[in-house]
Amino acid sequence: MTELRSSEWYDGDDRNAYIHRAWMRRGTPSSTFEGRPQIAIANTASDLTPCNAHLDEVAQSVKHGIYEAGGIPLELPVVSLGETQVRPTAMLWRNMAAMATEEMLRANPIDGVVLLGGCDKTIPALLMAAASVDLPAVVIPGGPMLTGHFRGEALGCGTDVWRLSEEMRAGNLTKDQFRASESSTIRSKGHCNTMGTASTMALVAEALGTIVPGLAGTPAPDARLLEASHETGRLAVQLVADDRRPSTFLTKANFHNAIVALAAIGGSTNAVVHLIAIAGRLGIDLTIDDFDRIGAKVPLLVNLQPAGRYLMDDLFRAGGFLAVMREVRDLLDPEALTITGKPFVDYLDDAQIWDADVISSRGNPLQPAAGITVIRGSLAPGGAIIKPAAASPHLLKHRGRAVVFDSIEDFHARIDDPDLDIDADSVMVLRGCGPKGYPGMPEVSNMPLPAKLLAQGVRDMVRVCDGRMSGTAYGTVVLHVTPEAAAGGPLALVQTGDWINLDVRAGRLNLDVPADELAARTPNQATLDGYAAPSRGWERMYVDHVLQADQGADLDFLVGGSGSTVSRESH
């Protein structure tokens, strides 16, 4: 084994080594500091991140594995983001969590790290940090919750919240009934059980090679999660011995496999910004067009909400993620290695589908092509994306009149106004929701439909927005419009009444306004007022440095990595 990084802190007879050892000793044997890998457990457990609250239990199993393999486990609480709790949107804090985690991994005497995540932004932030500090790192996803039931029906957290909310607004459900469903929705520990962002990022991170194959998707209450966590702790010690850092095995081939997985599972559009941001930390050139190019050929095989019917514990009992990936084995890059040192495809031989209603075979897919489609045109010159699998087929080619909202507050204030001039053919346009404009790029693109149209039975309309969409949502939504309105994109110039043409198959989104007329327009004052930059703090730094969605919405100065070397020591 090469010399441990932590030995720079602990080896020697000088005063500094004395201080490092003495303060950490606290009853541990002296062998603690004698060539034993110091393995951090970057733990996003928090009472305010309910999806990750059980990770303390997972951490105990990891510790046992690390210790058993000869390492020293060191729990490191890191910034945690509860998707449903933090304001104004968890995405505003993803880069902060990544930066803080990266710096603490670098600053401390750590040789390797086990990353415990779950809720939407936590795995992306942890992987961005690990990529930039480039220490041996392995992810353990906390796993989805079990399926809850309400009035005899399975409830998908997220997706069914939107559905129940719309049913209440349409008058089909009372407020009391809506409220009574709350305690059924979240039945157990774990993250959302739909194919939302948390589930997506866990499965995609496994396809990327950063999770021991077969682990992602294990439900949070399942004993096998703890068993696998113990084994992952043992593996972390071996990773240090093998010097298997992210930069030694993550290549574009790994991202190719992640994109195939994203399409086959019908995963969240949020994976696009997260994967581009992670790739950026590794110096890998990944673009939104890679998602279209690689994902377009991939069939949808997983029948999970929001695109389908079932939930994550159904996927697990039906054969799990590896059974899905076995069906698309020929589309995977066989060279892409995993954290174990073996190619991802080597783990597919024994996988089997046990319930073909949940996992479709390649020969009988739910949809023949399920990837994310990139859209460009005069309204989105830098690109936008849409998830056709979650859209209504009859709206994939559509011409409609714009109804424009300058902000999400403007939207809420007017959407249920009985006098709002809107019909089922209108195109709802929401701006001011991009990385800079909000700031933080919230999940608001799937705007709820006007109550008066819901009452008429309308369940989907074309929507266009510079924000993101919850992975648990559905609808014909063009999102991540780039450049965003606040960055000077043409989205800022759309006026209510303009005609918009969407053609998903052709990859086009055009504003039907003559170029000279558009050039003469300026954004209205309400639009500009809504984009006033915050005066201080993280938000100020974020707005000054955040990149657009097509570049992963990372901060410009965080792209790339700095490695783990800290050349100066001082107290």
**Contacts to ligand FES by CB under 6 A:** 51, 83-84, 119-120, 191-192, 196, 198
Token couple for 301:
């095989």
Token couple for 405: 């909202």
Angle at which helix 537-545 crosses helix 91-107, to 10 degrees, equals 100
Do 144 and 219 contact (CB within 8 A), yes or no?
yes
Nearest-Å Rg of the Cα atoms of the chain is: 24
Burial of 394 (0-12, 13-18, 19+ CB in 10 A): exposed
Task: Say whether 561 sits in a helix, a strand or coil.
Answer: coil
Nearer to ligand FES, 84 or 392 (CB): 84
Minimum Å distance from CB 138 to ligand FES? Answer: 21
Least distance from C-beta 109 to ligand FES, angstroms?
32
Please name the amino acid found at residue 440. Answer: G
Q: At 400, is the secondary structure helix, strand, or coil?
A: strand
Please, what is the minimum distance in Å from the beta carbon of residue 327 to ligand FES? 26
Q: Shortest gap between Cβ of 120 and ligand FES (angstroms)?
A: 5
Token pair belonging to 407: 């902000």
How many Å apart are CA 123 and CA 286, to the nearest integer?
Answer: 19
Minimum Å gap between C-beta 470 and ligand FES is 8
DSSP states along 489-533: -GGGG--TT-EEEEETTTTEEEE-S-HHHHHH----HHHHHTTPP
CB of 119 to ligand FES, least distance (A): 3
Q: How far apart are the first and last CA of the chain?
A: 30
- Smallest gap from Cβ 124 to ligand FES, in A, equals 12
Distance CA 425, CA 228 (A): 51
Q: How far is the CB of 243 from ligand FES (least distance, A)?
A: 33
Least distance in angstroms from the C-beta of 556 to ligand FES: 28
Kindly tell me which of 199 and 551 has the beta carbon lying closer to ligand FES: 199
In sequence order, the 6+-apart residues with CB closer than 8 A to the CB of 342 are none
* Strands 397-405 and 380-386, bridge-based pairing: unpaired
**d(Cα 313, Cα 55) in Å, to the nearest integer?**
18
How long a stretch of residues is the chain? 571
Nearer to ligand FES (CB atom), residue 98 or residue 170: 98
272 or 298: CB nearest ligand FES: 272
Considering the complex, what minimum distance in angstroms separates the CB of residue 201 from ligand FES? 9
- Report the SS3 class of residue 295: helix
* CB closer to ligand FES out of 120 and 313: 120
Concatenated DSSP letters of 303-335: -BTTTSSB-HHHHHHTTHHHHHHHHTGGGS-TT
Tokens, residue 207: 């396809």
- Please give the helix or strand (H or E) that residue 39 lies within, else none: strand 38-43
Q: Which is nearer to ligand FES, 290 or 314 (CB)?
A: 314
CA 116, CA 139: separation in Å to the nearest integer?
6
Peptide bond into 77 cis (omega under 30): no
Closer CB to ligand FES, 161 or 511, in the complex: 161
Q: Report, in Å, the least distance between residue 90 CB and ligand FES.
A: 9
Rounded to 5 degrees, φ, ψ at 24 are -90, -15
Q: From the CB of 309, what's the least distance to ligand FES, in Å?
A: 19
> Which CB atom, from 49 or from 360, has the smaller least distance to ligand FES?
49
192/427 with CB nearer ligand FES: 192
Query: At its nearest, how many Å lie between ligand FES and the CB of residue 51?
Result: 3
Residue showing tokens 């709206």: 395
In the bound state with ligand FES, the residue whose beta carbon lies nearer, of 84 and 188, is: 84
Cβ proximity to ligand FES: between 83 and 406 the closer is 83
- Looking up tokens 């495809």 gives 345
Name which of 196 and 561 has its Cβ closer to ligand FES: 196
Q: What sign does the CA torsion over 130, 131, 134, 138 have?
A: positive
**Residue number, 119 or 339, with CB nearest to ligand FES:** 119
